[in-house]
Amino acid sequence: MTSEGSGHDAVVVEGGARAPRAARAVAFAGFVLYAAAAPHSIAGAWMGLALVVAAWLVRLLATREPGVRATPFDLPLWLLYAWTVLSAFLSAEPRISIAKLASVGTFLVFYLTQSMLTRRMATAAALVLVASGVAGTLWSLGEIARGRGVVVAEMKTGSPMRQLADLSVGDAIWRVNEGRVSSVEEIDEAIRRTPTGERVLLSVVARGEHVEWPGFVVTDELKGRASPSGLAGGGPTRRFRASGWTRHYETYAEVLQMVAQLALGLALAGLLRRRRGAAAWLPFAAFLLLGAGIALTAMRTTLAAFAVGALVVAWGATARGRARVFVVAAVAFALAFGAVVVWRTRAGGALTLSDPSASLRVQVARVAAGRVPLHPFFGHGMDAVQRHWQEWGFPGTDMLHTHSTPLQLAFDRGLPAVLFWLWLLAVFWLAATRAERLWRDTDDSATHGLALGTTGALAGFAASSLVNYNFGDSEVTLLLWWLMGAIVVVSSER
């Protein structure tokens, strides 16, 4: 009887162990999918994280253990969220602000990550992140070499394109009704396929910027013309801002900046251990390519943040001069290359910050800062400005954010929210630098590189946040939460 009972217990234990092992395998697949999609697709990133959620639920049911640790992140994180909820209910437009709380709840990815991630999963995912970022950069280089769309060489008499006041000769039409075009004939055919009475949707590269315009109404008479567009084309344009496999170069540049720091951290961690060959030089080559990718986005502020992050990594990694010289030279090249791209791609005056974009940023920031004292504690409410843009004195008709995370938090959620956010970043910095010190003298270059690169990613994120609302960008904040969770994991496994 005893023998039979022992055998039954062994089967139960073995069966109970299968579920956690299966959950771990599914979680690993989810994190790899997230890492592959993170620089390019928010939908793909969420698909990967959905797998991790499913794995967490399976493990929870099998073990009754959520796997969540108590960390120094908890208090500032939950205070920031609680204050955001209060601000939403006290908003000038509660319905809009309360609906926005769903996107704020993405911080739970931090707890999911620290619960399901292991140190080896973290380093593997970091390598996939770097490889995915490099693939997107190579695609961008190829796309710029190939060109995009059709440059408008002439709008003939009677062309319906003349109805678009903002379309100018020299701009390029690269999509019609969300389908890519590469010739005037393809533009004409896309117009003919548009249902009569509906507007054509045009994607245009205008003075280097991607814009989406609702075009003219299509009529039967227009479809019957030899050339419905009435355009003469001048070939593809190469004057556009790179965005990998996305159409959002701002988000792409912000994510690429953080991924580039991970590549640099991995490279320097290998060099510190006097490793040669692929272990050190492949990550360094990836860092160079990612820096070029950021430059191709023509994002001035993100390029400067990339430089800040890289210098933080270099100075934190080693006292040896050679590695620092390599990093400084790479950063100088990226900045110089970026300056050429900005000059060639963007509107005149962009290099000296005298372009319309910079001027509009200053105007919006000035109005927002002037309104913060009116609602200093709970702010105006997230996205409440959508209903009151002109009433509150903002310039123009396009509703923009303030292009600054601290200022946007103060305007939307009040000054206490800014303090909680700064507290959270300070805790993250202390945790990341502590993890880097813990792994500095070990043989594990991958884990040390992840921790080291995270310090640079955070420094670059913080620098960029001063002049970009990157904390309001889902793709960027998902990576921030993932890195926070990863730091908790690598710190606890040492």
The DSSP string of 31-76 is: HHHHHHHTTT-HHHHHHHHHHHHHHHHHHHHHH----PPP-TTHHH
- In a 13 Å sphere around the CA of 120, the CA atoms on its Cβ side amount to 5
Instruction: Please state the rounded mean pLDDT for residues 242-265.
Output: 92
pTM, rounded to two decimals:
0.90
**Amino acid present at 404:** S
Average pLDDT for the chain:
89
What pLDDT does 447 receive?
A: 95
- Backbone φ, ψ for residue 265 (5° rounding): -60, -45
pLDDT tens across 180-212, in order?
Answer: 999 999 999 999 999 999 999 999 988 777 888
pLDDT at 62 over 50: yes
Q: Which of left, alpha, beta for 208 (phi over 0: left; psi -120 to 50: alpha)?
A: left
Instruction: Please state the rounded mean pLDDT for residues 364-378.
Output: 94
Instruction: Please state the rounded mean pLDDT for residues 141-168.
Output: 89
Alpha-carbon span 489 to 470, nearest angstrom: 25
- Backbone φ, ψ for residue 219 (5° rounding): -120, 165
pLDDT at 8 over 50: no
pLDDT tens across 94-110, in order?
Answer: 999 999 998 899 999 99
Structure tokens at 118: 């292991």
pLDDT tens across 333-343, in order?
Answer: 889 988 998 88
Helices (H) and strands (E) in the chain, counts: 17, 6
Burial of 2 (0-12, 13-18, 19+ CB in 10 A): exposed
Provide the pairing of β-strand 179-180 with 172-176: antiparallel
∠ Cα 340 345 347 (to 5°): 110
Residue whose token pair is 């890492």: 35
What pLDDT does 487 receive?
A: 97
Torsion sign across C-alpha atoms 211, 212, 216, 220 = positive
Q: Quick one: which of 231, 236, 255 has its CA closest to 461?
A: 255
C-alpha distances out from residue 12 to 4, 109, 110, 273, Å: 13, 32, 33, 46
Q: How confident is the model at residue 164 (pLDDT cuts 50, 70, 90)?
A: confident
What pLDDT does 292 receive?
A: 94
What pLDDT does 389 receive?
A: 87
Alpha-carbon span 477 to 474, nearest angstrom: 5
What pLDDT does 12 receive?
A: 41
Instruction: Please state the rounded mean pLDDT for residues 3-7.
Output: 46
Spatial contact of 203 and 141, defined as CB atoms under 8 Å apart = no
- In a 13 Å sphere around the CA of 425, the CA atoms on its Cβ side amount to 18
C-alpha distances out from residue 141 to 57, 250, 296, 487, Å: 42, 17, 8, 33
What pLDDT does 275 receive?
A: 62
Instruction: Please state the rounded mean pLDDT for residues 85-89.
Output: 96
Total residue count of the chain as it appears in this document = 494
What pLDDT does 404 receive?
A: 93
pLDDT at 399 over 80: no
Q: Which of left, alpha, beta for 318 (phi over 0: left; psi -120 to 50: alpha)?
A: beta
pLDDT at 306 over 80: yes
Q: What percent of the chain has pLDDT over 70?
A: 94
Alpha-carbon span 194 to 191, nearest angstrom: 5
Structure tokens at 186: 């393809």
180-194 CB burial, b ≥16 within 10 A, e <16: ebbebebbbebbeeb
Alpha-carbon span 371 to 398, nearest angstrom: 19
What pLDDT does 79 receive?
A: 97
The CATH topology of domain 148-233 is Pdz3 Domain (2.30.42)
Structure tokens at 308: 């800040």
